[in-house]
């Protein structure tokens, strides 16, 4: 695979070339070239994420080879033991009492699950690459999945006032509301690995499991945030948002639409505001100009930072709808951290299934996690996140 710099340069060149192409009243052939270039951009962004993960791993390995500083030797030794125990559990189902971090009895009564303390950072990396929305919204970590009361308050209409001397002050109470949040029990599904692969010392099962589960979890959480779940424990970030503007055209988005949505957001939420859309909608913006003839969409020259529109970052969410007639939320704008909370209860658990696939010479692995998501909208008219509604045909 190419170097990280080469991939970034190629991605930036494609974005720039595609932008020039779409701004020149493109022909049918040029539109086809544009679509191909945007598909290549999506592939390159995924390759960049992969190379960055590998580079980070190599950096960790180099750091692990250095002499430990005073006071850190015990921590490094414990982390190495944890990782070794996790690998032994995945490959052989061996659980050493000294290295076991947590074990619970399941329905079978004789199986346990090992939770690797090194797992969480790897899952976060996967979420950045495959589910930008899951890390862009607010985060709430709880030790367990017990019901959690969410309190909301609306006091925006109340202000301090001038009163006369020796005049009694009237009571002005804020409006309180709230609800109870529960978590969903979610699974990655079973991944089967043959015994031959497990016995192959060249097969890095630890990294492979982390990568596969991380992508599945990131995609699953991103979808749940956008569409909600049947249990109601995940609220949809689209249906809970308010309408900020209606597009002028039914199947496209123009500069005036972005300007209207931008202006509709309360200034209190402007500081951390972001745009949310899928990559198809993003691709259609490369030909959109602002009132001064400048490109509205500004690709980032550094993949460590986000693309921008009107100076605000763009978060890509592939589960958001396309800009079709009547669609709600093809583009969203607002403060994601103020408007939506992703709750994570406990850590991800991995269970090794030994007997289930024994007759086929395979071992199964399954991941479990508990999450929920909810909007933090205290009352109508003060929503932190706004929807763009496409004009009906």
pLDDT value of residue 121: 53
Q: Which CATH superfamily is domain 119-154+167-278+317-393 in?
A: Major capsid protein gp5 (3.30.2400.10)
Q: What is the pLDDT along the chain (393 residues), one digit of tens a residue?
A: 577 788 888 888 888 888 887 777 788 888 888 888 888 888 888 888 777 777 776 676 666 555 444 444 445 566 666 666 666 666 556 555 544 444 444 333 333 344 444 445 555 555 555 668 998 999 999 999 999 999 888 888 888 989 888 898 988 888 888 899 999 999 999 988 888 877 775 656 777 777 788 889 989 999 999 999 999 999 999 999 999 999 999 999 999 999 999 999 999 999 999 999 998 999 888 888 777 778 888 776 665 556 889 989 999 999 999 999 999 999 999 999 999 999 999 888 888 888 899 899 998 989 999 999 999 987 766 789 999 999 987
Helix pair angle (119-130, 28-65), 10° resolution: 170
The 3-state DSSP class for residue 74 equals helix
Dihedral sign of CA atoms 239, 243, 244, 249 in order: positive
pLDDT value of residue 319: 94
Q: Are 115 and 85 in contact (CB under 8 A)?
A: no
Tell me the residue length of the chain.
393
Distances (CA, A) of 73 to 66, 79, 81, 117: 11, 10, 12, 17
DSSP secondary structure, 294-315, as one string: -BSEE--SSTTS--EETTEEEE
DSSP 320: S
Determine the Cα angle at 313 with ends 308 and 317, to 5°: 105
What the block records as the tokens of 219 is 């995609």
């Amino acid at each position: 695979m190419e170097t990280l710099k080469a991939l970034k340069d190629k991605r930036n060149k494609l974005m720039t070339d595609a932008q020039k192409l779409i701004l020149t009243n493109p022909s049918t052939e040029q539109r086809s070239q544009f679509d191909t270039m945007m598909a290549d951009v999506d592939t390159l962004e995924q390759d960049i994420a992969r190379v960055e993960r590998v580079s980070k791993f190599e950096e960790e390995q180099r750091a692990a080879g250095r002499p430990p500083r005073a006071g850190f030797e015990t921590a490094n030794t414990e982390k190495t033991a944890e990782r070794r125990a996790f690998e032994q559990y995945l490959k052989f189902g061996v659980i050493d009492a000294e290295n076991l971090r947590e074990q619970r009895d399941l329905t079978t009564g004789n199986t346990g699950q090992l939770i690797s303390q090194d797992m969480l950072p790897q899952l976060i990396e996967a979420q950045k690459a495959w589910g930008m929305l899951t890390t862009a919204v607010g985060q709430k970590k709880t030790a367990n999945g017990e019901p959690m009361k969410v309190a909301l308050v609306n006091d925006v209409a109340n202000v301090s006032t001038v009163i006369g001397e020796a005049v009694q002050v009237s009571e002005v109470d804020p409006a309180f509301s709230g609800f109870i949040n529960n978590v969903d029990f979610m699974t990655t599904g079973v991944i089967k690995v043959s015994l031959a692969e497990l016995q192959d010392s060249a097969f890095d099962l630890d990294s492979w499991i982390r990568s596969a589960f991380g992508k599945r979890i990131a995609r699953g959480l991103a979808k749940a945030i956008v569409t909600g779940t049947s249990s109601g424990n995940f609220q949809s970030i689209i249906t809970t948002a308010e309408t900020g503007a209606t597009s002028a055209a039914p199947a496209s988005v123009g500069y005036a639409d972005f300007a209207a949505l931008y202006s509709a957001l309360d200034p209190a939420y402007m500081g951390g505001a972001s745009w949310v859309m899928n990559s198809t909608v993003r691709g259609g913006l490369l030909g959109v100009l602002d009132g001064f003839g400048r490109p509205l969409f500004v690709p980032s020259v550094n993949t460590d930072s986000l693309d921008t529109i009107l100076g605000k970052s763009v978060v890509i969410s592939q589960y958001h709808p396309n800009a079709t007639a009547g669609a709600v939320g093809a583009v969203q704008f607002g403060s994601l951290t103020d408007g939506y909370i992703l709750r994570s209860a406990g850590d991800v658990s991995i269970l090794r299934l030994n007997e289930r696939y024994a007759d086929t010479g395979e071992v199964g692995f399954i991941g479990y996690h508990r999450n929920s998501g909810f909007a933090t909208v205290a009352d109508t008219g003060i929503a932190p996140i706004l929807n763009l509604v496409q004009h009906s045909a």
